[in-house]
């Protein structure tokens, strides 16, 4: 049996090419967890809150913001007292002008809860840190105001 036959040399060459190609890739996939810079996961998560818990927190912290992200027409029809209106379609462009302090609690509501989730995500991306999804005004059991007679 010949050690350096053409067949054996081909197998060795293929094996060496495999090692040259695969070993560096495997080495790159290893990460040392202590070297990874990480942000707190909770800081980027929207917090869902019940109307009862939101009201309690807003009563305690008068600096909080109650944000309505519906349309102006919906706001005029019915809204929660002390809320400010920034319609969802203008939120990204005007949030930082109207809500300067990004660390104060913001409680967001809409009609049913869909737009409030989107609004919360936008505010988190803009750097706001205390963002609460209150859901929809249809679930608000407390006082509301209407501009219509």
Write out the catalytic residue numbers: 110
Structure tokens at 138: 């249809």
Please name the residues in contact with 137: beta carbons below 8 A apart, sequence gap of 6 or more. Answer: 68, 70, 78, 79, 80, 109, 110, 111, 144
Element holding 47 (H helix, E strand): strand 47-48
Please give the DSSP secondary-structure letter assigned to residue 138.
G
């Amino acid at each position: 049996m010949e050690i350096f036959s053409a067949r054996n040399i081909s197998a060795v060459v293929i094996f060496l090419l495999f090692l040259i190609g695969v070993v560096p890739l495997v080495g790159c996939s290893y990460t040392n967890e202590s070297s990874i810079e990480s942000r707190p996961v909770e800081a980027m998560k929207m917090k869902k809150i019940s109307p009862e818990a939101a009201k309690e927190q807003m009563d305690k912290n008068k600096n909080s913001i109650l944000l309505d992200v519906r349309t102006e027409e919906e706001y005029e029809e019915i809204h929660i007292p002390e809320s400010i209106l920034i319609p969802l379609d203008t939120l990204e462009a005007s949030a930082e002008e109207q809500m300067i302090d990004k660390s104060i609690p913001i409680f967001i509501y809409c009609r049913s809860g869909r737009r409030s989730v989107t609004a919360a995500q936008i505010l988190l991306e803009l750097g706001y840190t205390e963002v609460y999804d209150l859901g929809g005004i249809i679930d608000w059991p407390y006082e509301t105001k209407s501009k219509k007679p």
